[in-house]
Amino acid sequence: MQADEFTYIAGVLKQQSGMYLSEDKTYLLESRLQPIARVRGLENVSALIKQMRATNDRTLIHEVTQAMTTNETMFFRDNKPFEKLSSLILPTLRETDPSRKHLRIWSAACSAGQEPYTLAMVLSEEMAKMPGYSFEIVASDLCDKVLSKAKEGIYTQFEVQRGMPIQLLLKYFQQAPDNHWQVKDSLKAMIRFDTHNLLEDAGRFGVFDIIYCRNVLIYFDETTKGHVLGRLAAVMRPPGFLTLGSAETVIGISTRFKQMEVERSIYQLA
């Protein structure tokens, strides 16, 4: 791939999704875009890029952007952020405003749905300790393909085995054909899935008490991280909890949040 081709694609990805692509990721471009070129009857990725530049085809640009989006995830990924939801975040919200019984949670960049379904399971388990409370989860992602899988709620045996406690699998899933498992309707009812680009305003979703935006900021440059964090803060209601990935931080990037002393990856509105 020529330097100008890489520069063009990197610019498109930055503009469309905020993703920062370094030059050592050329192999990633080749592997993920070759299937698109093949489907369109093009010889290689260079031919695909040439077509993009010549036509400015918005459908093709969207397709390329989605192909480059990383969608690796699993149920109860890293586990600790979900433990802290039960042991720290929910108790703090109860103490801060005992009169507020309806809590809203946003799973931003939810990928194929494992995170919002995990949140729904944790919250369902907590309901016995929180009589009178109700929960609403909004789950969003830029990629239409993974959102469709999330809405469907059907996972392979391998996918449910990755991090899923067996007792929760049997309680909240039912067996489906071809050795698959399907999320029960009672769990699905807690979640609303919607397409959303984190570079855009999220005001249409309303305000949230808790936001999970994990393992996303690592793909953005510092300026874009600041913009995204600002948009998250704009739709949070005090005291507002934000959970990031273990390799992510707001420190030195945004003053809208403060780090909780007891937990490195959990922040509150400043």
How far apart CA 75 and CA 118 sit, in angstroms, is: 6
**CA end-to-end span of the chain, whole Å?**
45
Residues comprising the chain, all counted = 270
Tell me whether residue 32 is exposed, middle or buried, using C-beta atoms within 10 angstroms of its C-beta: 0 to 12, 13 to 18, 19 or more: middle
Report CA-CA distances (Å) from 195 to 139, 205, 243.
Answer: 8, 11, 20
What is the average per-residue pLDDT within 51-75?
Answer: 85
* Fold matches, 3-68 and 80-269: no
According to CATH, the topology of domain 3-68 is Chemotaxis Receptor Methyltransferase Cher; domain 1 (1.10.155)
Residue 28's pLDDT is what? Answer: 80
Taking residues 20-24, report their average pLDDT: 82
Report how far residue 53's alpha carbon sits from residue 5's, in angstroms, rounded to the nearest whole number: 10
Residues sharing a CB contact under 8 Å with residue 95, sequence separation 6 or more, in sequence order: none
Cα–Cα dist 129/172, whole Å:
19
Place of tokens 């071809």: 178
| pTM of the predicted protein model | 0.85
Share of the chain above pLDDT 70, in %: 99
Where exactly are the structural domains of the chain? 3-68, 80-269
Q: Is the pLDDT of residue 71 over 80?
A: no
Write down the CATH number for the domain with range 80-269. 3.40.50.150
123 φ, ψ (degrees, to nearest 5): -65, -35
Q: What angle do CA 53, 59, 65 make, to 5 degrees?
A: 75
pLDDT in tens, 235-252: 999 999 999 998 899 999
Tell me, what's the pLDDT at 70?
65
Sign of CA dihedral 170, 176, 177, 178: negative
What was the pLDDT predicted at 241?
97
Average pLDDT, the chain: 92
Q: What is the distance of C-alpha 114 from the center of its chain?
A: 10
